[in-house]
Structure 1
Amino acid sequence: MKEVKIESTLYVYEAMEELPKEAVSLMHKAFEARDKAYAPYSNFNVGAAILLDNGEVITGNNQENASYPSGLCAERTAIYYAGSQYPEAKVVRMAISASSKNKPTLSPIPPCGACRQAIAEYEVKQASPIEIYFMGKSGKIAKSESLANLLPLVFDKSVL
């Protein structure tokens, strides 16, 4: 038997003022999307903004449904729209912000597992990393230089 160690690297910024300008602008788009989320059941609003290599910015937010599995997360709403409208464009950067009406969200909130898998599909397809910034409503912001840091053992087409 051999032990295999998997490591991930994240960068944590204390506040928005520390982020690069291009990330601040994208995070503000994520805030705008978050504030338009439809989350009457969880009271947990999420917004995502994606910068494509053609300069387009795509936003998405979570959309809930009384039949819970029928809803969709912000990250998948945005990335699927980007894929359907700009199939040849590469995703350069993603910004995500989440807030709760039930409690403060002051620490970085990463994408859920299903969203990580969806983002992985695009990162593998384009053969280049997607930079991801994520945070709560306010406070610290985490940055991953690639989805691979958030989902190191990715399931992709190579195993099919």
Structure 2
Amino acid sequence: MKKIKIESTIYVYENLEALPQDVFYLVERAKEARNNAYAPYSKFKVGAALVLDNNEVVTGNNQENASYPSGLCAERTAVYYAGSQYPNAKILKMVIVAGSEVNKTDEAIPPCGACRQAIAEYEVKQELPIEIYFMGETGRILKSNSLKNLLPLLFNKSML
């Protein structure tokens, strides 16, 4: 048996004021997107904002459905829209802002497993890491320089 050690590096920003200006702008766009989320069942709204290498900013929010598996997360909404509208553009940065209408959300909320896999697909496709910032309504903002920090053993097309 051989042991493999996997390490991830996550950066912590204590507050919004500590963020670079371009990321702060994406946070504001993600918050706007979150406000438009359709989450009547979970009461948990998420907004995402991406900046592409063509300087376009794309946003998305979660869209729920009474048939729960039929909904879509904010991250995938934004990533798929970017892929549809700007198929040759690369995603440089992603900001995710999550908040509950029921409970205070003061911890950074990372992307779910399905979103991690979707983001990984684009990161592999574009051969360029995507910076991912995520947060709750308040509190610290966490940053990963690549999806590989959040999902180190990627399943991708090379395995098919």
After TM superposition, the score normalised by the length of structure 2 is 0.99
Q: CA-to-partner distance for each residue in 1:7-55, whole Å, 9 max, x for gaps? A: 1000011100001111100111000000110000000000000000000
CA distance in 2, matches of 1:37, 1:138: 18
Where does residue 67 of structure 1 map in the other structure? Answer: 67
- 1:101 CA displacement: 1.1
After TM superposition, the score normalised by the length of structure 1 is 0.99
Aligned AA (1:129): P
CA distance in 1, matches of 2:107, 2:130: 21
Aligned AA (1:97): V
Where does residue 141 of structure 1 map in the other structure? Answer: 141
Aligned AA (2:21): K
- 1:96 CA displacement: 0.3
CA RMSD of superposed structures (Å): 0.4
Where does residue 19 of structure 1 map in the other structure? Answer: 19
Q: Secondary structure at the match of 2:30?
A: helix
Instruction: List runs of 5+ in structure 2 lacking aligned partners.
Output: none
CA distance in 2, matches of 1:153, 1:28: 32
Aligned AA (2:6): I
CA distance in 1, matches of 2:11, 2:115: 20
CA distance in 2, matches of 1:140, 1:104: 14
2:57 counterpart of 1:57? yes
- 1:139 CA displacement: 1.1
CA distance in 2, matches of 1:123, 1:27: 21
Where does residue 32 of structure 2 map in the other structure? Answer: 32
Where does residue 109 of structure 1 map in the other structure? Answer: 109
